[in-house]
Structure 1
């Protein structure tokens, strides 16, 4: 696949994905893991992303976690929104797509890599006065 389009994502992402995430938090001095699953469901304006799992190797011990995002797909872009509809970030589909988000004075720089239909990944590098961490998520189809 030479290029990637919004329609490729709409066709290739729905369903369940195994999630393995590593987080290196330089402020806490901790290297943590989050293991779980992601399910993409179709919606009128794109996809709904539902993540659930458990933190492991974290300073606070095992802890369940979940989140929901809406991936609105229009005009050739993916507009990622929080569950409440507020803006998170947007990206133009590509085999390697960059994203950015400002949270107060903290800056999130993200990189999506798509190898559909088998796998995709998302890496965030977060820096600023309140946050300093890297998070690398690998998503693969369940066996």
Structure 2
């Protein structure tokens, strides 16, 4: 299988996530967020993900926000869990070649709404996560771009 520098192969994406990232998020028509995300090892098969940043709502109000997940190594990809006790599965991402990038997607039913998520690991070393949420309670697109911060 070809290597997708700097991500390598689907089996090496998990390890390449470790470290600090700048993040920029847009929640279509609702908010923007700028901040940082850190993937910290919790052992050989688990990463703690924590993001922190400043959120600006469409009406101009601003506040600080944060979110945490657990990423678990899986063959050719990873599982994402909500950071709860016990952890609860959000989705499983199988990473595959997609043009000059690596990508994966999954669907999560959060009754009554559905989250369609897509990850793209790009040749420049950045990555994106898009969540398209639709249902009777929620309807929006959240798009986040991650750029590696210097160590």
TM over 0.5: yes
Name the counterpart of 1:124.
Answer: 131
The TM-score normalised by the length of structure 2 is 0.82
Q: 1:142 to 1:74 in 2, by over 3 A?
A: closer
Determine the C-alpha separation between the residues in 2 that align with 1:68 and 1:37.
12
Total equivalences in the alignment: 137
Q: Could you list the runs of 4 or more consecutive aligned residues of structure 1 that deviate by over 4 angstroms after TM superposition?
A: none
The TM-score normalised by the length of structure 1 is 0.86
Runs of 5+ in structure 2 lacking a partner?
A: 97-101
The CA RMSD measured in Å over matched residues stands at: 1.9
Range with bigger deviation, 88-97 or 56-65: 56-65
Range with bigger deviation, 113-122 or 13-22: 113-122
Name the counterpart of 2:37.
Answer: 38
Determine the C-alpha separation between the residues in 1 that align with 2:69 and 2:55.
19
Q: 1:74 to 1:96 in 2, by over 3 A?
A: closer
Name the counterpart of 1:4.
Answer: 9
Determine the C-alpha separation between the residues in 2 that align with 1:60 and 1:81.
32
Runs of 5+ in structure 1 lacking a partner?
A: 25-29
Given that 1:38 and 1:52 are in contact with CA atoms closer than 8 Å, whether structure 2 keeps it comes out as yes
2:21 paired with 1:22: no
Given that 1:13 and 1:117 are in contact with CA atoms closer than 8 Å, whether structure 2 keeps it comes out as no
Q: 1:106 to 1:66 in 2, by over 3 A?
A: same
Determine the C-alpha separation between the residues in 2 that align with 1:43 and 1:140.
22
Given that 1:50 and 1:69 are in contact with CA atoms closer than 8 Å, whether structure 2 keeps it comes out as yes
